[in-house]
Amino acid sequence: MKKLKAAIYIRVSTDAQREEGYSIDAQKEMLTAYCVSKGIKDYDYYIDGGFTGSNIERPELKRLIDDIKNRLVNCVLVYKLDRLSRSQKDTLYLIEDVFNPHGVDFISLNESMDTSTPLGRLMLGILSAFAQLERENIRERTRMGMKERVKAGLWMGGGRIPFGYDYDKEQGILVPNEDAQTVRKVYDLYLEGYSCAKIAQMVGLKYEKLALQILTRKSNAGFISYNGEEYIGKHEPIISLETYQKAMDFMLSRSVTRPSDSNYLLTGLISCGKCGAKLRYQKWGKYDCKLVCYSQDKNKPHLIKDPNCDNARQWAADVESAVIQDLFNFSLKRNDVSGNKKSAASIIDILNKQYDEISKKIKRLYVIYSEGSDDILLETIDGLRKQLSNIQIQIKREQERGVISGKIEEVNKTLITLKESWEYMTGQEQKNIIRNCISKIVITDKQVEIFYKFAEFIKKD
Residues 323 and 445 in one domain: yes
Residues 264 and 250 in one domain: no
Question: 13 catalytic, yes or no?
Answer: yes
Residues 311 and 425 in one domain: yes
Residues 91 and 218 in one domain: no
Q: Which pLDDT score is estimated for 405?
A: 60
Q: Which pLDDT score is estimated for 140?
A: 67
Residues 404 and 300 in one domain: no
Instruction: Estimate to the nearest angstrom the gap between the alpha carbon of 1 and the chain centroid.
Output: 60
Mean pLDDT of the region 327-333: 64
Give me the domain span that covers residue 239.
172-256
Mean pLDDT of the region 153-181: 85
pLDDT one-digit tens code per residue, 76-95: 999 988 898 887 778 878 88
Residue 163 belongs to a domain: no
Which pTM was predicted?
Answer: 0.38
Q: What's the mean per-residue pLDDT of the chain?
A: 79
Residues above pLDDT 90, as percent of the chain:
23
Residues 239 and 337 in one domain: no
Domain stops at, among 256, 277, 301: 256
Q: Which pLDDT score is estimated for 407?
A: 60
- Start-to-end CA distance of the chain, whole Å, equals 103
Count the domains in the chain: 4
Residue 56 belongs to a domain: yes
Residue 318 belongs to a domain: yes
Q: Which of 121, 59, 51, 46 is nearest to 91 (CA)?
A: 121
Give the other-Cβ count within 10 Å of 294's Cβ.
20
Domain stops at, among 236, 256, 276: 256
Which of these is catalytic: 13, 85, 108, 219? 13
Residues 126 and 34 in one domain: yes
Residue 156 belongs to a domain: no
Higher pLDDT pick, 417 / 92: 92
Residues 281 and 350 in one domain: no
35: domain CATH number?
3.40.50.1390
pLDDT one-digit tens code per residue, 49-65: 888 888 899 999 999 99
Residues 191 and 248 in one domain: yes
pLDDT one-digit tens code per residue, 180-220: 999 999 999 998 888 888 898 899 988 888 999 999 998 99
Residues 291 and 185 in one domain: no
Quickly state the pLDDT bin for 260 (edges 50, 70, 90).
Answer: very low
Q: Hey, what amino acid is at 306?
A: D
Q: Which pLDDT score is estimated for 184?
A: 94
Q: Which of 248, 217, 240 is nearest to 155 (CA)?
A: 217
Q: DSSP secondary structure string, 341-401?
A: HHHHHHHHHHHHHHHHHHHHHHHHHHHHHHHS--HHHHHHHHHHHHHHHHHHHHHHHHHHH
Mean pLDDT of the region 125-152: 68
Residues 176 and 293 in one domain: no
Q: Which pLDDT score is estimated for 209?
A: 86
Residue 444 belongs to a domain: yes
Q: Which of 138, 122, 46 is nearest to 83 (CA)?
A: 46
